[in-house]
Structure 1
Amino acid sequence: MKPTFHEIDPDGDTLLILHNANAPFAELPSISTPQEEPIEPASTPKDDAADKSQEQDESESTVRMRLSSKHLILASTYFKKMAGNNWKETTPEAGYSYVINAQDWDENALLIVMRIIHGRTAKVPRQLKLETLAKIAVLVDYYQCHEIVGFFAQTWLTESSLRQVQDEGKRNLMLRLVVSMVFPENEELPFWILSEKIIQKSTGPIDALGLPIRQDVIDALNERREKAILGVLHGFRILKTRLRDDETSCSFECSSIYLGALHKATKKMKLTNPRPSPPYRGISLFMLEEAIRGLREPTELPKPASTPSILPACNLAAKTKPIIDELLAGIHGLQLGDFVKLELNNT
């Protein structure tokens, strides 16, 4: 089967060959235990047939595009530098002055970007799903063509479906984060809100999922998450110590009741035996906040015979409120300007 061919510019002098098109994108890490790979036997005729079949599959996943070097140079810093280097990274092929190789990109996303660069905007969609938008953002970041794609990004980002971030899973939040980093001038997906959501909802170490997110950004996200969780654990330890040592305004009976209730609650939250340690796998700040707000409140203290019930003068919610306050105070989104210099115009 022949590779897919897209003629973006009929008079184009450049051939772009996309190998292994539509490779897996931003995959979540596997939680399964890695297994030892079996030793491969020596090659057999059957293996040779399998190799040919694989070569055929690779051919089927190859996409070719006829492009214009002039348009590429004007729109992309990446191609401008390549031209300044006499196109040394290209290889000659009949009918083309330059042949450029690419790997793993999504075919549709690359097609959209190249149509924008070449002014073929009639075929550019006005609405995109988050997945495609993130793939385009990765391409824009790689080829450094922010300015020419930015106008369309503004249109795509105004879709209401892309502004909902409250109930997103980890992968979608990371997709949104890379979009907000590549197109920071757009206010529909603010970087600081997305980073705050990621810090709040992550149940383990935060990673980039193979997306072009700077390591110092990932490190800052993990640091803030772990610091906030540590603050919650520290708050519980202090409260338990004060109840144990009768350092609160409660009576002996009251503090004993609350100490027992607090111990049960922290055990249910898996914060004891063993005590959690970084990177706090299985624990998210969102889960901790919900659990603290939902702590079961003792309703009354033990009473001697023939005496009225002795209701507690204080409550557990009041004692754990400082912990919630500290938790919430520990969740701060990142400011993109602290990590990257926002120079979007091609030079």
Structure 2
Amino acid sequence: MDFVEVVVVASPFANITPLYDVDPDADALLIVPPPKHDPKSSHGHHQPLLNGINGVNGVNGINGTHAAAEVEVDGLGIHHDPSDAYQVASPPATRSQKGLRLKVSSKHLALASRVFKTKLQFANLGAARQSDGRVHLRLAPGFDPTAVSIVMNALHARGSKVPKTLDLETLTNVAVFVDRFQLVDAIDVYAERWISRLEDSVPTAYTHDLIQWIYVSHVFRHADIFKAVTKAAAAQSSGPIPTLGLPIRDKIIHHVDAARQSLVTQALARIHAAVDDLTAGVPGCPTQHCDSLLLGELTRSLQRPRGLLWPRPPSPTPA
């Protein structure tokens, strides 16, 4: 699966995406296309991580030769094309809706990521260089520009530009980029800090956030959190967990669902054992006729509306 391509002609986003100066002596330009939005989605504020990540190939066959002028407009290194009247000076964290171009070092990319290294190694760099003298690398649609800028600052040893804390949404978007480009080792120290400051907010209820934590804790190899959130999902879900568009591994989904089925099977086994005991007359209540009343209520609650008593559900237990 290709999540990045070497652009051999000028990117169609050159005039509409701001330019972020990560490395002033950069020999590469990393292009993050603007996020796509699905108005039908019920998670509108989660769009960057919901769209375009699973099963996406790089865009090919784009023509054009225009190279945007680079004019610095603030101290953070954001640039824009002076012909675009809609560009404004603001840091990447507030510009994610327009995509982003980042001036980066190919050496830093290659050292941190085998994916980038392979792409740069086998590309015809001479023919791929644009009029600005750089190799242009365009990401597949769906990566969050803010998350990419955070990771790039970390890779280029710009610690003062890397946030000390991230909200869960941004951390999830960072995890997607890190996961796809195998960058975990390169930003492990930062990830540990981000997660430690969010640990108190890890949910115990089966929510949208819990699914995000399953993915984040897996990507950043946080075993304790991963064990806790997958256990909560297994205990509270009614079927295989949804991915929410995240590239959660199939083996994780199968693992959680297998644990869910095991828990349901154990619970039903205990309930059926109780029904068998009451039916056989094994004493269960201290008062007269209590067993009969208990058996009747238990039978009715099990049989309606899901039919859990007769016939007894097969194993594995369906959702």
Alignment TM class, shorter chain as reference? 0.5 to 0.7
Is the 8 Å Cα contact of residues 15 and 96 (structure 1) preserved in structure 2? no
Q: Report the CA distance between 1:218 and its aligned residue.
A: 0.9
- 2-side partners of 1:65 and 1:249: how far apart? 71
What secondary structure, in the 3-state scheme, does the structure 1 residue paired with 2:102 have?
Answer: strand
Does 2:159 correspond to 1:121?
yes
Does 2:272 correspond to 1:258?
no
TM-score (structure 1 length as normaliser): 0.62
Choose which of 123, 131, 134 in structure 2 pairs with 1:86: 123
Instruction: Specify the structure having the higher radius of gyration (Cα).
Output: 1
What is the identity, as a one-letter code, of the residue corresponding to 2:115? Y
- 1-side partners of 2:318 and 2:296: how far apart? 24
Q: In structure 2, do the counterparts of structure 1 residues 130 and 87 end up closer, same or farther at CA, with 3 Å as the change threshold?
A: farther
- Deviations 1:262-303 (CA, angstroms, capped at 9, x unpaired): 23443678565997787755xxxxxxxxxxxxxxxxxxxxxx
What is the identity, as a one-letter code, of the residue corresponding to 2:289? E
Q: In structure 2, do the counterparts of structure 1 residues 22 and 67 end up closer, same or farther at CA, with 3 Å as the change threshold?
A: farther
What is the identity, as a one-letter code, of the residue corresponding to 1:127? T
Q: In structure 2, do the counterparts of structure 1 residues 145 and 87 end up closer, same or farther at CA, with 3 Å as the change threshold?
A: farther
Does 2:206 correspond to 1:153?
no
- 2-side partners of 1:191 and 1:3: how far apart? 37
Does 2:147 correspond to 1:133?
no
What is the identity, as a one-letter code, of the residue corresponding to 1:157? I
Q: In structure 2, do the counterparts of structure 1 residues 146 and 272 end up closer, same or farther at CA, with 3 Å as the change threshold?
A: closer
RMSD of aligned C-alpha atoms? Answer: 3.1
- Deviations 1:181-206 (CA, angstroms, capped at 9, x unpaired): 1221x46x532122111111213321
Q: Report the CA distance between 1:125 and its aligned residue.
A: 0.7
Q: Report the CA distance between 1:241 and its aligned residue.
A: 2.7
- 2-side partners of 1:21 and 1:8: how far apart? 21
Map residues 259-274 of structure 1 onto 2, 5 A cutoff. Answer: 259-266=295-302, 270=306, 272=308
Q: Report the CA distance between 1:242 and its aligned residue.
A: 2.6
Map residues 177-256 of structure 1 onto 2, 5 A cutoff. Answer: 177-184=214-221, 186=222, 190-248=225-283, 253-256=289-292
Unaligned ranges ≥5, structure 1: 29-55, 282-347
Is the 8 Å Cα contact of residues 21 and 63 (structure 1) preserved in structure 2? no
Q: Report the CA distance between 1:211 and its aligned residue.
A: 2.0
- 2-side partners of 1:109 and 1:274: how far apart? 53
Is the 8 Å Cα contact of residues 170 and 202 (structure 1) preserved in structure 2? no
Q: Percent identity?
A: 28
Does 2:139 correspond to 1:108?
no
Q: In structure 2, do the counterparts of structure 1 residues 7 and 279 end up closer, same or farther at CA, with 3 Å as the change threshold?
A: farther
- Deviations 1:18-69 (CA, angstroms, capped at 9, x unpaired): 12337524559xxxxxxxxxxxxxxxxxxxxxxxxxxx9xxx7342111111
TM-score (structure 2 length as normaliser): 0.67
Q: In structure 2, do the counterparts of structure 1 residues 166 and 61 end up closer, same or farther at CA, with 3 Å as the change threshold?
A: closer
- 2-side partners of 1:62 and 1:27: how far apart? 16
- 2-side partners of 1:101 and 1:249: how far apart? 69
What secondary structure, in the 3-state scheme, does the structure 2 residue paired with 1:193 have?
Answer: helix
What is the identity, as a one-letter code, of the residue corresponding to 1:222? D
What is the identity, as a one-letter code, of the residue corresponding to 1:65? L
What is the identity, as a one-letter code, of the residue corresponding to 2:201? Q
